Chains A and B, each alone.
Chain A
């Protein structure tokens, strides 16, 4: 195998966290930094000709090629696993920028207690009243530690929103339940769609606190502190699942890559598929990867940053035999534990006026957090954490939107009668969505599949994952709240209660799969320390949402970015001065 010229740092994965880390390292040090990305580099003009529902929403052109690699799934450790053969309950992107190219731009901060959730819930309900098998943990880092990093990420992205808690003072119009922030958002909120205005008015009338979803789609032209300028969002409706055709949405390719291109010491190699992290005697020595021709190469490096999204972060650690696999039966081992998938459900509502729902953006919407976390829970509800409720105007496209009709309106789902009902309700239907916290359970985890392999013959990652009574109850309660909101909106809701169904890999849930390489306070309970440095290999850092022990209603990207600069501070400020275990 060919040995390439050594570099100081290899970053595995050219997505949001990988490129953000590359930016920190090349700004603050003179290290040589190489990013290896398995996908291709797209240009802005690829996105301009990408306003196409068939190729991008139906055939998932932005997503990883499942023929190369997928995951397998089983509901419990007693079941046999099968591969997820087609998308899908989640949609991992590929290419430079990763899922940060096709994301919707929701840019929440996590609420403070999420970083100390084990302590918080123990105090809140008492250790004896927490459900069996609950695997929540403390992160080892606090909201206050991260607040300046959240602000840095918000400025980099140009987040448009409304503060609800400025230095402890509640501000009207924002989320009053958020953690205190030192600054107002960099930009005012996006413009309000008709659906948002209905949801906003209804939830206010019910005494709740609606607030605009913080958006990485700028409401105005924006120049960030790095000098990168992006135009405002045009609400074209081709957002989630698409790259932005005008470069408005904050994507790694338009927000970080332009800076990196000018940095000495930075190199990006695409179509470079890292297959192993190499290590010897407790130190990493580099990585082995396959280039576009299929040639296997060894890239020596002093430090390796694993930034390849939740699935591949865990999988590469397994394949490279780094760490101890989690054993569900004994609870020992850490690699693969705390697999979570943000809980989502929707109550469909029908309105009597057209919504013009083809207009919108990924983050055009209004949310209430009045039921989020454990607010208002007494412990007798059967749940310890709940979630948020929102209405989004992401831009309806006709193939997916056609055919939403009230339950029982028509018998068949094809033919003249169906067509008549579908056109009658076209553009008069929306979803009130529940975005729920997925608390981790001991029985949900990742490991390697014993049967199925990827294009190289390496084992696929296997999910053991199912919904529990807790998630069923979250969805049931959310549906009740949503019915109340729908009626206050003057809408006719579909009042069918959510099915108490098992986890399925077919229906889109969210793309917020988390855990597997979680952060924590000890090597017995986590894979990385609170700086995201691996407990066993001090020169290996594992960044991204794989580090989150629990999966809140707040979408992960902003926190993943805040933790990246938090980790970079430790790497540059502490580790490089004295390479070794920081904890």
Chain B
């Protein structure tokens, strides 16, 4: 068993519900420094710093709204990689692995965990670079499988249900005006034509009033 690693984030930057969202992980609020220590499942602290910085360039906080750090995207990715998806439990992984035409999609042997590990290594001291240099580094790997996953997972982490670790405090959904799961639009579906209808967002846990089993928690 590896040493427990933590992601340390400023509590104020994230919002109150992050703590409840992380209940299963018993995140610790450090009163003195005003930071939250989030236990990591897959990344080392340094890897999480690199991935977090890269996600923030893909989806930066700017005048338009929140970014990947605000949504805790790196926690989302950490959990996805730690779960069955990260080790390709549901992908066809029998040999022989061959190179084929683009129409056949990703045919590689490496699972998402391995792709991230190798990709992070290539990014080196990314987290400490100025942003324009960070962007140049990302442009250089734009066509890689690693970047393809990183971009896809960043968007997922921005707008996932918060039970997956991303979209902290519903920051992504609030920004979009997306209400999250709601049971009944029967009185609204043929109304509001051409007008924005923006019910207050709720998470799935809020909607059903209980914890929901998520796939990344599947252990076997």
Binding site for B on A (CB under 8 A): 48-49, 51-55, 58-61, 65-67, 70, 73, 75, 80, 82-86, 191-194, 197, 232-238, 245-246, 353-354, 356, 358-360, 364, 398-399, 402-403, 413-416, 419-420, 423, 426-427, 451-453, 501-506
Selected from A52, A234, A501, the residue in CB contact (under 8 A) with B185 is: A234
Note all chain B residues with C-beta closer than 8 A to A191: 186, 189-190
A49-B213, A59-B215, A85-B106 known; A353+B194 contact, CB < 8 A: yes
Nearest CB on A from B101, distance (A): 8
Say which one of B19-27, B32-40, B41-49, B155-163 lies at the interface with A. B155-163
Contact B160 A503 (CB under 8 A): no
Note all chain B residues with C-beta closer than 8 A to A237: 185
Contact B64 A415 (CB under 8 A): no
Note all chain B residues with C-beta closer than 8 A to A420: 62, 64
Contact A359 B185 (CB under 8 A): yes
Q: Which 8 A-B pairs have the closest CB atoms?
A: A51-B181, A504-B103, A398-B159, A353-B194, A235-B189, A359-B185, A191-B190, A235-B185
Residue B117 at the A interface, CB < 8 A? no
Note all chain A residues with C-beta closer than 8 A to B192: 194, 356
A191-B190, A403-B155 known; A67+B196 contact, CB < 8 A: no
A selection of 20 A-B contacts at a CB cut-off of 8 Å is A49-B210, A51-B207, A54-B214, A67-B88, A80-B98, A235-B188, A235-B189, A356-B196, A359-B188, A402-B159, A414-B57, A414-B58, A415-B57, A415-B58, A419-B60, A419-B62, A427-B177, A502-B101, A504-B103, A504-B105
Contact A354 B195 (CB under 8 A): yes
Residue B212 at the A interface, CB < 8 A? yes
Q: In the complex, which of the residues B102, B106, B190, B210 has the most CB atoms of chain A within 10 Å of its own CB atom?
A: B190
Contact A451 B96 (CB under 8 A): yes
Residues of B169-220 at the interface with A, using a CB-CB cut-off of 8 Å, are 172-173, 175-179, 181-186, 188-190, 192-197, 204, 207-208, 210, 212-215
Contact A416 B64 (CB under 8 A): yes
Contact B184 A236 (CB under 8 A): yes
A194-B194, A236-B184 known; A70+B59 contact, CB < 8 A: no
Contact A66 B92 (CB under 8 A): yes
Note all chain B residues with C-beta closer than 8 A to A192: 190
Query: How extensive is the interface on chain B, given as a class?
Result: 35 or more
Contact B208 A398 (CB under 8 A): no
Note all chain B residues with C-beta closer than 8 A to A58: 156
A135 to B157, CA, bound (A): 47
Contact A84 B190 (CB under 8 A): no
Nearest CB on B from A161, distance (A): 17
Contact B190 A505 (CB under 8 A): no
Contact A423 B176 (CB under 8 A): yes
Contact B164 A86 (CB under 8 A): no
Contact A236 B183 (CB under 8 A): yes
A456 to B68, CA, bound (A): 43
A286 to B19, CA, bound (A): 57
Residues of B76-134 at the interface with A, using a CB-CB cut-off of 8 Å, are 85, 88-94, 96, 98, 100-107
Contact A419 B160 (CB under 8 A): no
Contact B161 A54 (CB under 8 A): yes
